[in-house]
């Protein structure tokens, strides 16, 4: 009788223990939260191992698409851009450019014209329009005519090849002696030399003209000669050039601006 009771109690205790262990196993366990130091070390190790691995093969270069060609362009440096004439008022010509607006003092050349017509940009009017001054007659110029931006100012030939030659404002010879054979060109708009670079002296320029050398001697450097119409300024200058050239062998340049020859 006692053995039966002992066996029954052992069975009940084993059953209660098994149910308790199942309940403990089924209960959710709290998540493990790593320490900040461990997380930092884990990331450092991962970065080092990824850097040590051989890099994957580089991706092939992309084939060029049909987009822009890569040419560097700017609103005010559009060399080669073509505009159209939108207004002609005598020697003043307005030109509109869709892109590549030329800067001031840039030379433009009219295309498909009877004569070579060069324009010089003088003002920006806005809305991609520039106002230009024609270097020749504008007869026959019409609206819509194409104009090419040369990307540079008006240049003229320089050097010994130009001695004794006559040329117009765009550097073309007009003395019927053929082309000027030279490779040296300079723009007509250049900055004056600095004051420190200019030679300063107090010497007298002997002109060979007795009246001038005695009563009003010329000082070397910058000097002005003023006179009314018909008093002989041109004759005096021509005589001065002749005497100075023969005496010193210098190169003298005579620029006649807005001068009318007498009949």
The set of residues, in sequence order, having a beta carbon less than 8 Å from that of 34 and lying 6+ positions away, is: 42
The set of residues, in sequence order, having a beta carbon less than 8 Å from that of 251 and lying 6+ positions away, is: 163
C-beta of residue 146 within 8 angstroms of C-beta of residue 113: no
Mapped onto helix, strand or coil, the DSSP state of residue 2 is helix
Q: Return the H-helix or E-strand segment holding 6.
A: helix 2-26
pLDDT number for residue 193: 81
In whole angstroms, give the CA distance from residue 167 to residue 161: 12
pLDDT number for residue 11: 58
Task: Locate the domains of the chain by residue range.
Answer: 82-152, 154-190, 201-263
Closest CA to 134 of 179, 85, 101, 99: 85
How crowded is the C-beta side of 41, counted as CA atoms within 13 Å?
A: 5
**CATH number for region 82-152:** 2.40.10.170
Q: Structure pTM?
A: 0.56
Three-state secondary structure of 111-151? CCCCCCCEEEEEEEEECCEEEEEECCCCCCCCCCCEEEECC
pLDDT in tens, 113-156: 888 999 999 999 988 999 999 999 999 999 999 999 998 999 99
pLDDT along the chain (263 residues), means of 10: 59 58 50 54 56 46 38 52 93 92 92 91 92 93 93 91 88 90 90 80 83 85 76 84 83 70 50
Token pair for 243: 């005497």
């Amino acid at each position: 009788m006692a053995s039966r009771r002992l066996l029954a109690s052992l069975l009940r205790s084993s059953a209660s223990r098994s149910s308790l262990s199942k309940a403990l196993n089924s209960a959710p366990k709290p998540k493990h939260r790593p320490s900040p130091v461990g997380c930092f070390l884990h990331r450092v190790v991962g970065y080092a191992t990824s850097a040590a691995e051989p890099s994957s093969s580089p991706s092939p270069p992309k084939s060029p698409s049909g987009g822009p060609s890569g040419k560097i362009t700017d609103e005010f440096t559009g060399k080669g851009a073509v505009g159209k004439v939108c207004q002609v008022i005598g020697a003043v010509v307005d030109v509109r450019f869709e892109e590549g607006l030329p800067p001031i003092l840039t030379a433009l050349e009219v295309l498909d014209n009877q004569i070579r017509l060069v324009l010089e940009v003088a003002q920006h009017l806005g809305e991609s329009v520039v106002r230009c001054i024609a270097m020749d007659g504008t007869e026959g110029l019409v609206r819509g005519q194409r104009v090419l931006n040369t990307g540079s100012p008006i240049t003229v030939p320089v050097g010994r090849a130009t001695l004794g030659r006559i040329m117009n404002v765009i550097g073309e010879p007009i003395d019927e002696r053929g082309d000027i054979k030279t490779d040296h060109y300079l723009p007509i708009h250049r900055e004056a030399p600095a004051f420190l670079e200019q030679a300063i002296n107090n010497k007298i320029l002997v002109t060979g003209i007795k009246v001038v050398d005695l009563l009003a001697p010329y000082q070397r450097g910058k000097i002005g000669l003023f006179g009314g119409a018909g008093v002989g300024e041109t004759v005096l200058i021509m005589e001065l050039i002749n005497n100075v050239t023969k005496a010193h062998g210098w190169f003298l340049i005579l620029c006649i601006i807005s001068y009318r020859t007498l009949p």
